[in-house]
Chain A
Amino acid sequence: MDYIGKSNLRVDAYAKVTGNAKYSADLAPRDAYIAKVLHSTIANGEVVSMDVSEAKKVPGVIGVFTCFDVPDVEFPTAGHPWSVEESHQDIADRKLLNKRVRLYGDDIAAVVAEDNVACDRALKLIKVEYKEYPVHTDARSMLNDKDAPVLHPNWRKDNIIAHTAFNSSEYFNYDEVKKNAITKYGEENLIEVVKNVKTPRISHSHIELPVSYAYVDANGKVTVVASTQIPHIGRRVIAQALNIPWGKVRVIKPYIGGGFGNKQDMLYEPLNAWLSVKCGGHPVLLEISREETIVCTRTRHPMDGDLRALATKDGRLLCRELINYSTNGGYAAHGHSITAKCAGIFKNLYRDELGVRSEAYTVWTNAPTSAAMRAYGVPQAVSFAETLTDDICVKGGFDPYKFRMDNICDENTSAGGAMFYTYGLKKCMEIGAEKIGWTKKREEYKNQTGPIRRGIGMCCFIYQTAVAPIALETSTVRMILNQDGSMQLSIGATEIGQGADTAFTQICAESTGISPDKVFIMSSQDTDVTPFDTGAYGSRQTYVTGNSIKECGILFKKKICEYALTMEEEKSLAGKKIDDLDVFENYVVDKNTKEKLVSLEKLSTTAFYSFKHNQHITAEKTTDITTNTFASGCTFVDVEVDMPLGIINIKDIISVHDSGTLINPALATAQVHGGMSMSLGYGMSEELILDPKTGKPYNDNLLEYKIPTAMDSPDFKVEFVVMKDPTGGYGNKALGEPPTVAPAVAIRNAVLNATGIGFNEFPLTAQRLVHEFKEKGMI
């Protein structure tokens, strides 16, 4: 392969280091009105009345719009492909502004004004009268209160969005299996771990806030320029929310400053569109604050899992059970799909000899709405599964590396339509263990005493590539030859910082034979211009869109070669047949000898301007992908725990990934760094905390909500096991999300190794550590 596996520099790096790259707010017209949203100051109840008379009098105010004014339409916000089957459609449970308040900070009114100051003043003058209901901010407390008010009575009578179970077999029952195991092996030959694990509510913390501006264009189209991962899905959702034909909405996505799944939902774009419509189509800019972003957009699901596991004393995993209560917040957004994915990965990560049960509840609560966040429920699944494994190992005296080697899922694992077409997990473990010095350090760190202790831990994961066959995986790619032999690559898939445009350019070069410097990728998506693709999520684009680019490239190349055969004046082509030809480094060449026959520059100029045979060479291809291949990997970490201070110092950390072929190793490595950093936050510092009585957030800003800074970040080591996967366009598998799965749990397991304390609540903050060490009389 000529262009795959090369560490090309990013195609957008120059634009980004010079400030030339324009993001949504940078493009807003100067005369745009400013919109701001009024949020509820209660977490559960109803807006009884609203007095906006004083607000409307503020000079500069264009309009005040309340939950009593919006269309009586409930719409779904999730960035899923629409389904033509009603039963698979996302839950439509939200209006543009809501009278029925379900979380602290719910959207109840909006002001449009000529400037920020007028907007703020008007917001303060709106008087709201509420009727309040009792508040439940987590799934379990909501379920335990039989009299809890029903948040979405049109959808469910019990606040449970869904309750499902994945069992290894229809009849699996943990208690019965345990009884049989005792009979077979004897109770004295078995070990059991029973525990509960809690994971935190995480804010995506992309540095660009979700910004949009909307206007009605010259053709009467409602146009929204937005920082979104999903322009094409966004068009459908905005149309549904406004109850107008889908084709009347246009969504434009410029450069975006990170998304991590938060922008895989329609956030304020539908409201923004409606506000513009209400202001005669005048441009309206809706920039929310960091505080609003943390509370009023989306979060990672906090999950609360009851776990049991049974193993033999000689280190065989017999069976496991997870009963998971997932807190979804006030609105369904992605519904049960994240908790379901969590349940699936928990089930599939190990080979349980006697079976496994993975049961899941997703519950509406009076909390910030939980939805997609990088790795979509899998960090939680692995927090359950991989803390359980190390607890079993402690109890049974097993080496966690060996126990995993013996029990972790193998190459025959197949579930939910996904399987390992290539399997590199154990190889990843071998490399990680060797690089960190596993055996030596496990020995060295035995029997420590004193306040400062070292520990080493590991964690494994598996991860589906894209979302087929559960959801539709489809992508269209368009290629256009320019007059000089360069080309335009037009896609609906989105660059959100991950490096997609660079990978796509390389894939395009590989499949067309046109060198990357002559491939001009259209980085901004516009639903009126760029073809349909569902967008950036599910670690899907390099796999799904990449496949489509490959297929389109093959078609494009064929059209170029066919044109070459019509160029009678080119003697070098005389007598050639289509099967003799190929395109290589911007030339039509002889497939076998690589002899240059005609340059693409000459060919394309001829094609455009020939009187005899005029042709504009383009290709378009839609491919849908039905396969799904597991990526996998692991993290190893060496920590020092300062017990009196409750501080974990990372001395060494390495992640090893099995992601198939790497399209661009440098960018793949950079993706892993970012994922590891995000997992460090989940593991050690990040947690959005709510007052359980009022639902009010305690730390909705970046001073008190602690994402890792440079000082918190160790130097990350990264390795890959490269195997060519037969299903990936060029052998590639998922990589966007997987890096953010394992590090947090590896750290937890290293702390267990260092101190003997297995923490079961993430993140492992200094407060939690000190509290626990004190309780145990260790400090």
Chain B
Amino acid sequence: MSKKIITLHVNGKDREVAVDERESLYETLRNELRLTSIKKGCEVGECGACSVLLNGRCVDSCIYLTMWAQGKDIVTVEGLKDETNGDITDVQKEFIKQAAVQCGFCTPGFILKAVEIVGANKPYTRSEIKELITGNLCRCTGYMNIVTAIEHAIKHNMDKLGIPYEVQPATTSFDLPDEEKEKMLKDVLAMQNNDVTKV
């Protein structure tokens, strides 16, 4: 079967790709555009590792045809970084701060789901967050710190919107105050900066 040339709107840019009509969005984005943050965990829509945002909603790209994505706004984790100044989103920062990352393989999928959740501008409770992320599987974290990271990201957004929102207190006496984590995050981000023109 001959390939078709189509245009996809990915991470803010129009990209022309040659696709087989039977191809999944997972295959096109990874193989043609080399967006390797999209991961394969099951290929049948069970694990959520291949999540991408389509018009702001998460879909499993492994069971979504590329042809259907034409004309839609596609976002992957590669597209979350601000290319002009290197900034990353509150969601990503909180995943770093709350130790919500272990092996990191499910992380891009969870981050996109969290971006969708935070973007809803709703003060979700912990149990609502758990329900919302239930289509993403993680084997390392027990979801505990992922939920905490999302709570904190929601908190930033609620603060901006002026809506009262409380995160759950820590469930271990070994947790650090948030200010200390914030300080360490600044160091982590500073380590990533190699641009002397940017302080």
- Interface of A with B (CB < 8 Å)? 7-10, 12-19, 21-23, 25-26, 30, 204-209, 255-258, 260, 287, 289-290, 496-499, 517, 662, 665-670, 673-678, 680, 701-703, 707-711, 713, 715-720
Contact = CB atoms under 8 A, between A and B. Distances in A.
Most chain A beta carbons < 10 A, residue from B96, B111, B139, B180: B139
A204 to B, nearest CB: 8
A709 B143 CA distance: 8
Main secondary structure of the interface of B (DSSP, over half): loop
Given A7-B176, A677-B142, A678-B139, A701 B104 contact: no
Interface string B167-191: 0100111111000110011011101
B111 to A, nearest CB: 6
Contact of A257 (B39, B78, B133, B144): B39
A701 B95 contact: no
B53 to A, nearest CB: 13
Contact of A206 (B103, B176, B180, B191): B103
A707 B105 CA distance: 16
A17 B105 contact: no
Given A257-B104, A673-B144, 11 more contacts: A9-B188, A10-B101, A14-B96, A14-B191, A18-B78, A207-B103, A209-B41, A669-B172, A711-B131, A713-B130, A717-B172
Contacts of A260: 139
Contact of B144 (A205, A287, A715, A719): A715
Interface string B95-118: 111010111111110010000000
A110 B64 CA distance: 29
Contacts of B137: 205, 207, 702, 707, 709
B66 to A, nearest CB: 15
A19 B36 contact: yes
A589 to B, nearest CB: 22
B146 A12 contact: no
A711 B130 contact: yes
B133 A710 contact: yes
A18 B92 contact: yes
B187 A517 contact: yes
Interface string B4-21: 000000000000000000
A25 B37 CA distance: 11
A668 B41 contact: no
B145 interface: yes
A709 B36 CA distance: 24
Contacts of B131: 710-711
A255 B142 contact: no
Contacts of A666: 99, 174-176
Contacts of A719: 172-174
Given A207-B47, A207-B106, A674-B142, A720 B101 contact: no
A662 B174 contact: yes
Given A17-B111, A19-B108, A710-B146, A496 B42 contact: no
A156 to B, nearest CB: 34
Interface residues of B, number: 67
Contacts of B88: 17-18
Contacts, number: 207
B69 interface: no
10 contacts: A16-B104, A25-B40, A256-B105, A258-B105, A667-B99, A669-B172, A710-B130, A710-B136, A710-B146, A713-B144
B35 to A, nearest CB: 8
B43 A12 contact: no
Nearest to B79: A19
B59 interface: no
A621 B171 CA distance: 40
Contacts of A710: 129-131, 133-134, 136, 143, 146-147
B192 to A, nearest CB: 6
A715 B151 CA distance: 13
Contacts of A22: 36
B144 A13 contact: no
Contacts of B173: 719
B166 interface: no
B126 interface: yes
Contacts of B171: 715-718
Interface in B152-176: 168, 171-176
B49 interface: yes
A290 B130 contact: no
Contacts of A668: 174
A716 B78 CA distance: 32
A716 B142 contact: yes
The 9 closest A-B pairs by CB, nearest first: A19-B37, A497-B103, A257-B105, A677-B142, A16-B104, A26-B36, A673-B142, A702-B46, A19-B77
B184 A23 contact: no
Contact of A674 (B102, B107, B129, B176): B102
A7 B102 CA distance: 14
A65 to B, nearest CB: 24
A372 to B, nearest CB: 15
Nearest to A675: B142
A290 to B, nearest CB: 4
A258 B188 contact: no
Nearest to A10: B101
Most chain B beta carbons < 10 A, residue from A497, A710, A718: A710
Contacts of A25: 36, 40
Contacts of B47: 207, 290, 702
B138 interface: yes
Given A666-B99, A710-B134, A716 B104 contact: no
B28 interface: no
A665 B174 contact: yes
Given A666-B175, A717-B171, A13 B142 contact: no
Contacts of B35: 19
A498 B104 CA distance: 10
Contacts of A209: 40-41
Contact of B95 (A13, A287, A703): A13
Contacts of B192: 14
Interface in B66-99: 76-78, 80-81, 88, 92, 95-97, 99
A673 B174 CA distance: 13
Nearest to B77: A19
B120 interface: no
B64 to A, nearest CB: 17
